[in-house]
Chain A
Amino acid sequence: MATDPIAQLGYLYQNPMSEALQASASGVPLVGITSNTVPWELIASAGMYPVMLRSDDCATSFADEFMEPQIFLPRIRSIFDQILSGRWPLRAVIIPRTSEQEYKLFLYVREVSRQYPEKHLPPVYLYDLPHSRSQDSRAYGLKVTFALKAQLEAIGGISIGADEIAASIVESNAARSAVRSLVALRRGKPRIDGCLALSLIGPFWSIPRKNYTELAWEAAAKLQAQATLNRPRILVKGVSMDQSTLHGVLESCGALVVSEDDWWGEGSAGQDISTAGDPVAACFEKYYSDSPGPRTFPASVADSWFEDRSRDGIDGVVFYLPQEDYVFGWDYPRQKNFLDALGIPNLLIRDDPRQLKTPELSRVQSWLEQLPKVVQS
C-alpha cells in the first residue's frame, strides 16, 4: 500500500475488506455489520473487529435464488450474497432494524441457515433498534442495546467492562473528529470534490478507528493547502449509496458534490458519543438520536438536517430515487416543495448512475449549466 494518506484511504475505500482480512488472519474475530446504526464501540470493546459489509460488483447468485427481483436494493442483495457465499470469515453478522430491507435480510439469512445447515453460515443477530421518537421507543432501544452487549459477550466469549467500552468510545470519537475535519474541507469554499470525499470518509466504516484517525487527519492536513473549487455545490439526497458512481457522474458534468444526506458521506460521523455516564447508554443515545436512517420518525426530525444543510451554501440538490425505491419517494414532493420555496434548484434522477444514457446525461448537464458557476462567500 502507498504511504500517502490520501492514496491509502483511497485504496481502503476500494478494498474495504483488506484490513479486516489481515486482522482475521492474525486471529481477530470479524463481525459483519450492515448499517451505520450498529454500535461499533460495543463490538470493538468485545475484542472483535467490526466491519461494514459494502456492496460490490460480484454476481449475486444467492440473491437471485432467494430474493424477489426488483424489490431489494443492490446493496442488500450484495450483502446477502457475501454472507451466503462464505466469502468472508465472519464470526457473526449484526443486522440492525434500521430499514425494512435489513429486517428481511435478517429473516432471509436466518431461514437459509435453517433450511441448509450444511452451509455453516455465520450466525446473524438482529439489533432491534427502533427509530421513532417516543419514550417507549427510547426505553426499548436502550434495553436492546444492553441485550446487544450481552450478545456480543456471548459471541466473543468475554465479559465487556465499562472501561473497555469507554476506551472504544474515545477511539471512535477521535475518528469522528477526523471525519469532521474532512467534512470541513467541503464546507464554505470547498477544497475537495465529492468522489474524493467519499473515498476519504468511507474507510471510517471498515478499518480500526485508531488507524483511520491518523490517516484522515494527515489527509486533511495535506488537503488544507488545496485551491478552492469553484463549481456548483450539490447536495445529494435520497437512497443511501455506498459507492461514488453518482458523484462521479455529476462531477464529470461539472458539479461539485459537497454533501449527501446519507451515512456514507457527510452524515458518517455525526456528533461525538458522550463520555459521561453509562457508556452503553451513551452508545445507544448516539445511534438512536444521531444516525440518519429511513425509519426516523416523524418527518420533521428526519428532515431537519437536510433543511439546515440546504440553507448552508448549497447551489442545487439532486434527488436520487432509483427504480427499486419505494420509500424515499414518499418524502420527495415535500422536500422538493421545501427547496422550491427557498428557490434552490433541484433535479430528480431515477436511473442507475452506472447505466445513464446520453439523454439523461444531457438533462443533468443542462440542469447544472443553469446553476451558479462561482462559489459565493
Chain B
Amino acid sequence: MSEKQLASTVQASAHQKEWFSQLRRDVFEKQMPYAIVQADMPFELFQAMGIPTVSNQWWAALISAKRLAPQCFDELNARGFHHGLCHYCSLPLACTLAGSSVEAPWGGLPKPALISARLTCDCIQRVFEIWAHALGTQFIPIENPGATELPPCWWELSRHQWEKLFEARRLDLTVDQFHVLIAALERIAGRRFELDALRQLMESVNRQEEYFDQARQLICSAPKAPVRMTEQITNVMAAQWLRGTEWAVEHAKRFRDEIRNRVEAGIAACPQEKLRLMWVGAGLWHDTDFYTSFEPTYGAVFVWSMYLAFGPDGYIRYGLSDPLRALASRVVSMNEQLHNPPWANEWIVDQAEKHRINGAIVLMPSGTPSAVSGTLFIERALEKAHIPVMTIEADVVDSRHWDGQLMRKKVAKFIEERLC
C-alpha cells in the first residue's frame, strides 16, 4: 500500500513492527513464551494470561507482502506436498520448512511455546501437526462443532442473544476445549488463569468494537468514503490481533476519531468517488495496490471488506456473567458467518446495502480451496439484491499465477459494462 492518508494507519503499522521486535527480544533475551494461533482462535485467553500471540494469517500476509511466498511454496513442493494444497494457512509452515533458504520477514518467528488452531477444515489439523513437529513445539487443537440452527440475521442476535444463537451444545464443547487450552497456558505462563481478568478484557474488546462500529457507521453515512478499505484493514487488524489491550482500544478510538474528523471536514479518501465497491474475501496481500487502481479512471473506491465490519458484528458480546462462554460464542461460528450459507450471503448483502455498494468483487480463492465455499451463494444473493458481481480467481498469498495487469483490465471492463 503506497499512500497512507490517515495518521492512525502510520501509527498502526509502526506499532505492529515495534510489537514484533519486542516479541523477538522478549523471546530470545528473556525466554518469554509466546504462541502462534489461527486467526479464528480466542486470542483473549492468551491475552489474559500475558502470552503474546502471532496470528498465522497475519504472518502469512506479511510473508506474501514481502513477495516471499513463491520461494516458500517451491520449498514446500520440493518436500512432496503437492501444488493443490491450501496456501493461506500453510505459508508460514512453508516458510519454517524453507529454513535459511528464505529470509523471513522482520527476522523471522522464534520458536513458540505452543501453536493452536480450531479444527475447521480437514487440512488445518494436518498443517499444524506438521508445523508443530518442524518447530519442535506442542499443538493444541480445538474441536469445531458444526452448526445446525442458523436463524436469519445473525448479526442482529449475536450481541445479546448469543447463547441461543450459537447452540448450547456447541458452546459447551468449546468451553470444555478452552479449559484444556487454559491448562496449557497456565503451565507455560507459570500462573493461574483469572476469570475476572478475562471478563475485564472482554469488556474492553466490546469497547474497542463499539469504536469500530461507529467508524463503520461513519463510512456508511458519509457522502463519500472517508477512508480506503486498505487503510481500514491495517488499522483494524493491528488492533484485532491485540484486542482488548489498552493500545488496541485506544487505537480503535483514534481511528474512529480520525474518520469522524475527516467526515466533518468533508475529506474523502477519493474526492472523485463515483462508485463504491466491496471486496468479498480475504485480502490480496501480494498486490494491495490493486484496490486503489480503479480510482483515477472510474472514481471506483473499495469501501468495504469483512475486516472492519466483522469486528462489531462478530465480536461484541453483551452479558458477560460467564465470559468463557461468551468468548466461545465469539469464535464458534466464524467460519459459518464469513464463508458459508446462509449466514455469509445474508450478512454480505446486508452490508452491501448499508454501505451503498454499487458493485462487488467476489474472490474465489484458488489457493485456499477450503475457503472457496459459499461464494456462489454470495454471488447469487448480491445479484438478486441488484448489486452486480464480478468473481475473480486469485491466490491471496501466492503471486505466481497472478497477472495484475490483466486482472485490472478485467475489473475495468466489469465497471464499464455493469456499473457505469
Does A311 make an interface contact (CB < 8 A)?
no
Q: Which parts of A119-133 form the interface with B (CB within 8 Å)? A: 125-126, 128, 130, 132
Does B141 make an interface contact (CB < 8 A)?
yes
**CB within 8 A of A126: which of B80, B85, B148, B373?**
B148
Residues from chain B with a CB closer than 8 A to the CB of A143 are 169
User: Which of A19-27, A201-209, A267-275, A295-303 interfaces with chain B?
Assistant: A295-303
Q: Which parts of A309-336 form the interface with B (CB within 8 Å)? A: 321, 323-327, 329-334, 336
- Tell me the bound Cα distance from A336 to B82 in angstroms: 13
Closest to A326 in B: B369
Say which size band chain B's interface belongs to.
35 or more
Q: Does A68 contact B82, Cβ atoms closer than 8 Å?
A: no
Residues from chain B with a CB closer than 8 A to the CB of A106 are 146
Q: Does B85 contact A107, Cβ atoms closer than 8 Å?
A: no
Q: Does B342 contact A111, Cβ atoms closer than 8 Å?
A: yes
Contact mask for chain A residues 86-104; partner B; CB cutoff 8 A; 1 contact, 0 none: 0000000000010111011
Closest to A114 in B: B342
**CB within 8 A of B84: which of A101, A126, A323, A334?**
A323
Residues from chain A with a CB closer than 8 A to the CB of B84 are 323-326, 329
User: Which of B99-107, B126-134, B297-305, B394-402 interfaces with chain A?
Assistant: B126-134
Does B50 make an interface contact (CB < 8 A)?
no
Q: Which parts of B130-183 form the interface with A (CB within 8 Å)? A: 130, 141, 143, 145-148, 150, 169, 172-173, 176-177, 180
Say which size band chain A's interface belongs to.
35 or more
Closest to B126 in A: A330
Q: How far is the CB of B386 from chain A (nearest CB, A)?
A: 17
Q: Does A333 contact B169, Cβ atoms closer than 8 Å?
A: no
**CB within 8 A of B364: which of A68, A294, A297?**
A68
Residues from chain A with a CB closer than 8 A to the CB of B375 are 68
- Tell me the bound Cα distance from A107 to B291 in angstroms: 32
Q: Does A297 contact B82, Cβ atoms closer than 8 Å?
A: no
Does A11 make an interface contact (CB < 8 A)?
no
Q: Does B177 contact A333, Cβ atoms closer than 8 Å?
A: no
Residues from chain B with a CB closer than 8 A to the CB of A336 are 80
Q: Does B336 contact A107, Cβ atoms closer than 8 Å?
A: yes
- Tell me the bound Cα distance from A324 to B86 in angstroms: 11
Residues from chain B with a CB closer than 8 A to the CB of A110 are 150, 341-342
* Residues of B in contact with A (beta carbons under 8 Å apart): 79-82, 84-86, 119-123, 125-127, 129-130, 141, 143, 145-148, 150, 169, 172-173, 176-177, 180, 336, 340-342, 345, 364, 369-370, 372-373, 375-377
A-B contact pairs, 18 of them (CB 8 A): A66-B377, A71-B372, A97-B146, A106-B146, A125-B148, A132-B125, A139-B176, A297-B141, A299-B126, A299-B129, A323-B84, A324-B369, A326-B85, A329-B81, A330-B123, A330-B126, A330-B127, A333-B81
Taking A100-B122, A134-B143, A326-B84 as known contacts, 14 extra A-B pairs with beta carbons closer than 8 A to each other, sorted by chain A number, are A97-B145, A100-B121, A114-B342, A128-B146, A128-B148, A137-B173, A139-B176, A140-B169, A143-B169, A147-B169, A324-B369, A327-B126, A329-B81, A329-B82
